[in-house]
Structure 1
Amino acid sequence: MQLLQLQYFLTVARIEHMSQAALELNVSQSSLSKTIARLEEDLGVPLFDRQGRKIKLNAYGEIFAKAAKEALVGLDNARSQIQNLANITEDRVTVSVMSSKILPHVFKSFYLKRPNVKIHQSILPDSVAKERLITGEIELCISNSPITGPDIIWLPVLKEQLELIVPHNHPLAMFDEIDLKQARHERFISYQSGSTATNMIEKCCHDAGFEPNIIFEGTELSIVLQMVNEGEGITFYPQYSFLEENLKNTKRIKIRNPDCYQMVGFAWMKTRNYSYVAKQFRKHMIHEFEEINKGNS
């Protein structure tokens, strides 16, 4: 006997009409009829008296309907008690993220498991995200630069490759792949979402054997990329950014040498007692990012 059978049975008992009950349940009449028939077969007795299109509970059905209602109420009460015990309020999870085309799919896969949880998402500079993480205004931070502190756990999960992005009429645009040292005399536009973002750009250039000529430094990647789109310089393009469709006047170039990448990771407070839902959200997000990272290996 299945929970769905009980729910279907009680709907038919209340409406006393098979086709109207099927309409309310958003199932086909034949599927509903088969479900009720299987239930009656399991019990070994009919539960309804059929009078044309109208159906009505018989004596067996009255007894079973009373027991089914009590069972569903009991299960619902147990669910509430378990959620209270686990500190589940079905309210919201607050998270700060970086701009990434990965996130919509990952959020969707979480909603398939917990459709009643509200996700409050923001895109904050890492310094602001760190402050709000400490104060408890956000419960999780996903960023492409480490967020560290005495009571902060930082877990790097996903290796995100970086490519060079240049104006389409730039001399380097003739190449699909280059050694980064070929860009040693170029004007770089950098973005610094956190304390180490610029260091990441500088590290790539240093690994290639030169000091980058950084002419502009911003905190918003979309603005930096638009400046490249306007022909003001070149920069690095993160593998999972969703901003490329707005950059009609640019070309992305793979970097052959050195290996340029940034690590995407998760930060949360190790001293805070998070709700069950917040823990499950964090576990889900980390798992999904790890699976993407495995796919890239």
Structure 2
Amino acid sequence: MQFTQIEYFLMVARLEHMSKAALELEISQSSLSKTIARLEDDIGVPLFDRKGKSIHLNEYGRIFYKKAKKALDDLQEAKTEIQELANIQEDSIAINVMNSKLLPKLFFDFYKKRPNVKIRQYVLPDKLAQQKLIFGDIDLMIVINPIVDQRIEWVPLFTEEIFLVVPKNHPLATKESVSLIEAKDEMFIVSETGQNFRATENHLFEKAGFTPKIAFEGEDLSIILQLVNEGKGISFIFQHSFLDTYLDNVKILKISNPVCFQTVGIAWNKNRKSSFVVNSFRDFAISFLKDSANKDFSN
């Protein structure tokens, strides 16, 4: 029994029409008929009932069809998994991220392991990214704070410190650290309601014991920090953000009270089957980011 015989048999069984099957397979009808006849000879029984030009699976054919289709599907699945494992087949990962200086090396190191992978990176608002994660438009999210949704799995990666950022000419800029209550009368520039970082900011204000005066709300942290850089208010920045590189007119202050930390995690839709490469990246990211953050924190 040959692999080609099984492929041809499945096509004829699906179409139940010899000439249409031959056309689909791009072979002559006589060649197809001979192949099916040899398969039946090999098995020892006819697989089709033939009446004139019509051809239909008989009892034997239906049994063989079910088993042959499963065998072919299993072979194709095995081939795909092996190709992915061997980096033969290009695959892709769609991931939504936050601005973190740990991520470029994460991607670079993963590329070294799987050079054929295509990574599509997004920096979408949290609510939109979560929707896309649920609908399967993205595979993973690196995001602060647990996502409360029974469809989504969220695994903590590391904890990072949060700092206050003020313009250089601000009275608080003369200090190295502050208690957050000292800023209760200042104008804050904060994340938009609904963003995960806004939940963190609200928690800090609550712990400090005051309601902030808000001058501006935005979904893009880079714009928020540029407004601070231009002297329009004060805000927060987290430990592993790379955005401080672009700020030349600010002072970053340690917050002595309350203790200001946030937890960064990775999320995925647990109800959707992820590809081999997505699972590989997720496992690699969990290990890499936990290790990198601990090293950076110890320094």
Residue identity in the other structure for 2:257: N
Distance 1:148 1:178, change over 3 A: same
1:170 is matched with 170
Residue identity in the other structure for 2:81: L
Over aligned residues, Cα RMSD in angstroms?
A: 1.9
Structure 2 residues not aligned, in runs of 5+:
1-75
1:215 is matched with 215
Question: 2:144 touches 2:196 (CA, 8 Å); kept in 1?
Answer: no
2:187 is matched with 187
1:228 is matched with 228
Q: What are the within-5 Å matches in structure 2 for residues 96-175 of structure 1?
A: 96-175=96-175
2:266 is matched with 266
Question: 2:125 touches 2:195 (CA, 8 Å); kept in 1?
Answer: no
C-alpha displacement of 1:263: 1.3
2:95 is matched with 95
Deviations 1:118-148 (A, max 9, x none): 1111111111111111111110011124333
Q: Distance in 1 between matches of 2:83 and 2:204?
A: 45
1:240 is matched with 240
Question: 2:195 touches 2:219 (CA, 8 Å); kept in 1?
Answer: no
Q: Distance in 1 between matches of 2:156 and 2:113?
A: 25
Instruction: Select between 93-102 and 83-92 the one with higher mean Cα deviation.
Output: 83-92
1:286 match: secondary structure = helix
Question: 2:126 touches 2:196 (CA, 8 Å); kept in 1?
Answer: no
Q: Distance in 2 between matches of 1:113 and 1:257?
A: 43
Q: How many residues align structurally?
A: 218
Q: Distance in 2 between matches of 1:81 and 1:246?
A: 48
C-alpha displacement of 1:156: 2.0
Q: Distance in 1 between matches of 2:100 and 2:235?
A: 17
TM-score under structure 1 length normalisation: 0.69
Distance 1:136 1:144, change over 3 A: same
Residue identity in the other structure for 1:93: I
Distance 1:235 1:124, change over 3 A: same
2:252 is matched with 252
2:231 match: secondary structure = coil
Residue identity in the other structure for 2:198: T
Residue identity in the other structure for 1:85: E
2:285 is matched with 285
Deviations 1:245-267 (A, max 9, x none): 22111110111111112211111
1:13 is matched with none
- In our comparison, the structure showing a higher alpha carbon Rg is 2
C-alpha displacement of 1:182: 1.1
Q: Distance in 1 between matches of 2:95 and 2:148?
A: 16
Question: 2:132 touches 2:138 (CA, 8 Å); kept in 1?
Answer: yes
Q: Distance in 2 between matches of 1:137 and 1:185?
A: 43
Q: Distance in 2 between matches of 1:170 and 1:198?
A: 23
Quick one: percent identity of the two aligned structures?
A: 43
Residue identity in the other structure for 2:162: L
1:198 is matched with 198
Residue identity in the other structure for 1:210: F
Distance 1:189 1:112, change over 3 A: same
2:165 match: secondary structure = strand
TM-score under structure 2 length normalisation: 0.69
Distance 1:84 1:225, change over 3 A: same
Q: Distance in 1 between matches of 2:288 and 2:212?
A: 35
2:274 match: secondary structure = coil
Residue identity in the other structure for 2:80: N
Distance 1:278 1:212, change over 3 A: same
Residue identity in the other structure for 1:160: E
2:80 is matched with 84
Question: 1:100 touches 1:240 (CA, 8 Å); kept in 2?
Answer: yes
Distance 1:233 1:147, change over 3 A: same
Q: Distance in 2 between matches of 1:125 and 1:146?
A: 16
C-alpha displacement of 1:292: 2.6
Deviations 1:208-248 (A, max 9, x none): 22221122110000000011011110000111111112211
